[in-house]
Amino acid sequence: MNKIKRRSVDPVFSMCVQPSFIIGTNNEDGSPNFAPITWVSATQEEDEGYLLVISMFGTKKTKTNVLRTGIFSANLVSADMLPLMDYFGSRHARDGRKDGIPYSVSRGEKLDVPVLDQSRWVYECEVAHTLETGNSATFFCRIRGIQMDERLHCGDIFDVDLTVLDPVVYSGKYHSLGKVLGNIGDFLK
Ligand SMILES: Cc1cc2nc3c(=O)[nH]c(=O)nc-3n(C[C@H](O)[C@H](O)[C@H](O)COP(=O)(O)O)c2cc1C
Protein backbone atom coordinates (compact mmCIF):
# COMPACT_ATOMS: atom_id res chain seq x y z
CA MET A 1 0.00 0.00 0.00
CA ASN A 2 1.35 3.42 -0.95
CA LYS A 3 1.95 5.92 1.81
CA ILE A 4 0.77 9.28 0.54
CA LYS A 5 3.40 11.98 0.88
CA ARG A 6 1.63 14.88 2.57
CA ARG A 7 2.81 18.29 3.66
CA SER A 8 1.65 20.21 6.71
CA VAL A 9 0.07 23.60 6.07
CA ASP A 10 -1.52 26.21 8.31
CA PRO A 11 -5.13 25.30 9.24
CA VAL A 12 -6.62 27.95 6.96
CA PHE A 13 -8.39 25.63 4.53
CA SER A 14 -12.00 24.73 5.22
CA MET A 15 -12.10 22.02 2.58
CA CYS A 16 -15.00 19.78 3.23
CA VAL A 17 -16.73 17.75 0.54
CA GLN A 18 -20.08 19.47 0.54
CA PRO A 19 -23.40 18.55 -1.06
CA SER A 20 -25.17 21.35 -2.89
CA PHE A 21 -28.71 22.34 -2.00
CA ILE A 22 -30.83 25.34 -2.90
CA ILE A 23 -32.94 26.28 0.09
CA GLY A 24 -36.48 27.51 -0.53
CA THR A 25 -38.11 29.72 2.09
CA ASN A 26 -41.18 31.93 2.46
CA ASN A 27 -40.73 35.69 2.70
CA GLU A 28 -43.01 37.70 5.00
CA ASP A 29 -45.33 38.50 2.06
CA GLY A 30 -45.56 34.82 1.10
CA SER A 31 -43.29 35.14 -1.94
CA PRO A 32 -40.60 32.46 -2.37
CA ASN A 33 -36.88 32.99 -1.90
CA PHE A 34 -34.06 30.64 -2.89
CA ALA A 35 -30.37 30.53 -1.95
CA PRO A 36 -27.63 27.88 -2.22
CA ILE A 37 -26.43 26.36 1.04
CA THR A 38 -23.74 23.66 1.08
CA TRP A 39 -23.16 23.31 4.81
CA VAL A 40 -25.55 20.40 4.92
CA SER A 41 -25.25 17.09 6.71
CA ALA A 42 -27.40 14.64 8.64
CA THR A 43 -27.73 13.08 12.07
CA GLN A 44 -30.31 11.11 13.97
CA GLU A 45 -32.40 11.59 17.06
CA GLU A 46 -33.67 8.61 19.01
CA ASP A 47 -36.77 7.20 17.28
CA GLU A 48 -37.20 10.37 15.26
CA GLY A 49 -35.54 9.29 12.03
CA TYR A 50 -33.02 11.44 10.25
CA LEU A 51 -32.41 15.05 11.08
CA LEU A 52 -31.07 17.24 8.31
CA VAL A 53 -28.36 19.51 9.72
CA ILE A 54 -27.89 22.82 7.92
CA SER A 55 -25.84 25.85 8.84
CA MET A 56 -26.24 29.47 7.77
CA PHE A 57 -24.06 32.45 8.62
CA GLY A 58 -24.67 36.18 8.71
CA THR A 59 -27.95 37.98 8.24
CA LYS A 60 -29.11 36.51 4.94
CA LYS A 61 -32.84 36.44 4.22
CA THR A 62 -32.85 32.65 3.97
CA LYS A 63 -31.65 32.45 7.56
CA THR A 64 -34.13 35.00 8.93
CA ASN A 65 -36.93 33.26 7.01
CA VAL A 66 -36.03 29.90 8.59
CA LEU A 67 -35.75 31.49 12.05
CA ARG A 68 -39.19 33.11 11.55
CA THR A 69 -41.14 30.24 9.93
CA GLY A 70 -39.25 27.11 11.03
CA ILE A 71 -39.78 25.46 7.63
CA PHE A 72 -37.98 25.26 4.27
CA SER A 73 -37.32 23.04 1.28
CA ALA A 74 -33.85 21.67 0.49
CA ASN A 75 -33.61 21.16 -3.28
CA LEU A 76 -30.68 18.99 -4.37
CA VAL A 77 -28.66 20.71 -7.08
CA SER A 78 -27.92 18.60 -10.16
CA ALA A 79 -25.30 19.79 -12.67
CA ASP A 80 -27.96 21.23 -14.98
CA MET A 81 -29.03 23.55 -12.12
CA LEU A 82 -25.67 25.36 -11.80
CA PRO A 83 -26.92 28.51 -13.55
CA LEU A 84 -29.66 28.66 -10.88
CA MET A 85 -27.18 27.98 -8.07
CA ASP A 86 -24.84 30.72 -9.25
CA TYR A 87 -27.69 33.14 -9.79
CA PHE A 88 -29.39 32.58 -6.42
CA GLY A 89 -26.00 32.70 -4.68
CA SER A 90 -25.02 35.99 -6.24
CA ARG A 91 -28.21 37.83 -5.27
CA HIS A 92 -29.60 38.84 -1.88
CA ALA A 93 -33.34 38.81 -1.28
CA ARG A 94 -33.01 42.18 0.45
CA ASP A 95 -32.10 43.66 -2.97
CA GLY A 96 -35.37 42.47 -4.54
CA ARG A 97 -37.04 39.42 -6.01
CA LYS A 98 -34.68 36.91 -7.60
CA ASP A 99 -36.55 36.78 -10.90
CA GLY A 100 -33.75 37.54 -13.37
CA ILE A 101 -33.52 33.93 -14.57
CA PRO A 102 -36.33 31.53 -15.59
CA TYR A 103 -37.37 28.83 -13.12
CA SER A 104 -40.65 27.39 -11.92
CA VAL A 105 -41.86 26.81 -8.40
CA SER A 106 -44.44 24.52 -6.81
CA ARG A 107 -45.53 24.17 -3.21
CA GLY A 108 -44.39 21.32 -0.97
CA GLU A 109 -46.54 18.24 -0.56
CA LYS A 110 -46.16 18.04 3.25
CA LEU A 111 -45.21 21.59 4.21
CA ASP A 112 -46.17 24.98 2.81
CA VAL A 113 -42.72 25.68 1.34
CA PRO A 114 -41.59 26.70 -2.16
CA VAL A 115 -40.03 23.87 -4.15
CA LEU A 116 -37.95 24.10 -7.35
CA ASP A 117 -39.55 22.06 -10.15
CA GLN A 118 -36.12 21.33 -11.65
CA SER A 119 -34.74 19.52 -8.59
CA ARG A 120 -34.51 15.71 -8.68
CA TRP A 121 -34.58 15.27 -4.89
CA VAL A 122 -36.36 17.58 -2.46
CA TYR A 123 -36.53 17.48 1.33
CA GLU A 124 -39.35 19.29 3.10
CA CYS A 125 -37.94 20.24 6.49
CA GLU A 126 -39.13 21.56 9.83
CA VAL A 127 -36.66 22.90 12.38
CA ALA A 128 -36.49 20.88 15.61
CA HIS A 129 -33.45 22.49 17.28
CA THR A 130 -31.31 25.55 16.61
CA LEU A 131 -27.74 26.07 17.76
CA GLU A 132 -26.21 29.53 17.49
CA THR A 133 -22.41 29.83 17.23
CA GLY A 134 -21.07 33.32 16.64
CA ASN A 135 -23.03 34.73 13.71
CA SER A 136 -24.04 31.29 12.43
CA ALA A 137 -27.19 29.33 13.12
CA THR A 138 -27.23 25.56 12.72
CA PHE A 139 -30.65 24.01 12.30
CA PHE A 140 -31.42 20.37 13.15
CA CYS A 141 -34.51 19.58 11.12
CA ARG A 142 -37.09 16.83 10.88
CA ILE A 143 -37.59 15.68 7.31
CA ARG A 144 -41.36 15.80 6.83
CA GLY A 145 -41.37 14.78 3.19
CA ILE A 146 -39.08 13.63 0.39
CA GLN A 147 -39.85 14.04 -3.29
CA MET A 148 -37.57 11.99 -5.52
CA ASP A 149 -37.17 11.76 -9.28
CA GLU A 150 -39.44 9.02 -10.62
CA ARG A 151 -36.47 7.51 -12.47
CA LEU A 152 -34.96 6.50 -9.12
CA HIS A 153 -35.81 3.01 -7.94
CA CYS A 154 -34.49 2.68 -4.41
CA GLY A 155 -34.53 -0.79 -2.88
CA ASP A 156 -33.84 0.55 0.60
CA ILE A 157 -32.70 3.75 2.29
CA PHE A 158 -29.07 3.15 1.30
CA ASP A 159 -29.87 2.34 -2.31
CA VAL A 160 -29.81 5.69 -4.07
CA ASP A 161 -28.12 5.86 -7.48
CA LEU A 162 -26.39 9.22 -7.34
CA THR A 163 -25.65 9.12 -11.08
CA VAL A 164 -29.38 9.59 -11.70
CA LEU A 165 -29.30 12.65 -9.44
CA ASP A 166 -26.04 13.97 -10.97
CA PRO A 167 -25.37 16.00 -7.79
CA VAL A 168 -23.03 18.97 -7.66
CA VAL A 169 -20.29 18.52 -5.07
CA TYR A 170 -18.80 21.71 -3.66
CA SER A 171 -15.40 22.34 -2.13
CA GLY A 172 -14.91 25.97 -3.14
CA LYS A 173 -15.22 24.69 -6.73
CA TYR A 174 -18.16 22.92 -8.30
CA HIS A 175 -17.71 19.27 -9.27
CA SER A 176 -19.89 16.55 -10.63
CA LEU A 177 -19.12 12.98 -9.67
CA GLY A 178 -15.57 12.64 -10.96
CA LYS A 179 -15.47 15.89 -12.90
CA VAL A 180 -14.57 19.49 -12.09
CA LEU A 181 -17.27 21.77 -13.46
CA GLY A 182 -15.85 25.18 -12.62
CA ASN A 183 -15.78 27.92 -10.05
CA ILE A 184 -18.39 30.18 -8.52
CA GLY A 185 -19.47 32.64 -11.18
CA ASP A 186 -18.61 30.48 -14.22
CA PHE A 187 -22.29 29.83 -14.79
CA LEU A 188 -23.53 33.39 -14.43
CA LYS A 189 -25.02 34.69 -17.65
C1 LIG B 1 -21.76 27.60 -3.75
C2 LIG B 1 -22.33 28.40 -2.60
C3 LIG B 1 -22.48 27.81 -1.36
C4 LIG B 1 -23.00 28.53 -0.28
N5 LIG B 1 -23.13 27.92 0.94
C6 LIG B 1 -23.60 28.62 1.99
C7 LIG B 1 -23.72 27.99 3.27
O8 LIG B 1 -23.47 26.80 3.43
N9 LIG B 1 -24.18 28.74 4.30
C10 LIG B 1 -24.50 30.07 4.14
O11 LIG B 1 -24.87 30.70 5.14
N12 LIG B 1 -24.40 30.69 2.94
C13 LIG B 1 -23.96 29.99 1.86
N14 LIG B 1 -23.86 30.60 0.64
C15 LIG B 1 -24.20 32.03 0.51
C16 LIG B 1 -25.66 32.32 0.19
O17 LIG B 1 -26.19 31.47 -0.79
C18 LIG B 1 -25.74 33.77 -0.34
O19 LIG B 1 -25.33 34.64 0.72
C20 LIG B 1 -27.09 34.18 -0.85
O21 LIG B 1 -26.96 35.36 -1.61
C22 LIG B 1 -28.10 34.42 0.24
O23 LIG B 1 -29.31 34.82 -0.34
P24 LIG B 1 -30.48 35.48 0.52
O25 LIG B 1 -29.95 36.78 1.05
O26 LIG B 1 -31.60 35.66 -0.46
O27 LIG B 1 -30.81 34.53 1.63
C28 LIG B 1 -23.37 29.88 -0.46
C29 LIG B 1 -23.25 30.47 -1.74
C30 LIG B 1 -22.74 29.73 -2.79
C31 LIG B 1 -22.62 30.38 -4.16
The answer to whether 127 and 141 are in contact (CB under 8 A) is: yes
Cα–Cα dist 37/170, whole Å? 10
For ligand 1, the distance from its centroid to the CA atom of residue 86, given in whole angstroms, is 10
Residues with CB under 6 A from ligand 1: 33, 35-39, 55-57, 60-62, 89, 91-93, 170, 184
Does 161 fall in a domain?
yes
Q: What is the pLDDT of residue 114?
A: 98
Q: Which domain holds residue 177?
A: 19-183
Of 14, 62, 77, 95, the one to substitute when testing ligand 1's pocket (max ligand atoms within 8 A of C-beta) is 62
- The closest residue, in CA terms, to atom 9 on ligand 1 is 56
Q: To test the ligand 1 pocket, which listed residue (15, 40, 60) has its Cβ within 8 A of the most ligand atoms?
A: 60
Distances (CA, A) of 81 to 130, 140, 169, 176: 29, 26, 12, 12
- 16 C-alpha to ligand 1 centroid (Å): 16
CATH code: domain of residue 53? 2.30.110.10
Domain count, the chain: 1
Distance in angstroms (rounded) separating the CA atoms of residues 99 and 134: 32
Q: What is the pTM of this model?
A: 0.94
Q: Is residue 9 part of a domain?
A: no
| Mean pLDDT by groups of 10 residues along the chain of 189 residues | 94 90 97 98 87 97 98 98 98 95 98 98 98 98 96 86 92 83 82
Q: What pLDDT does 183 receive?
A: 75
Q: According to the model, what pLDDT value does residue 49 have?
A: 81
77 found inside a domain: yes
pLDDT of the residue at 181 = 64
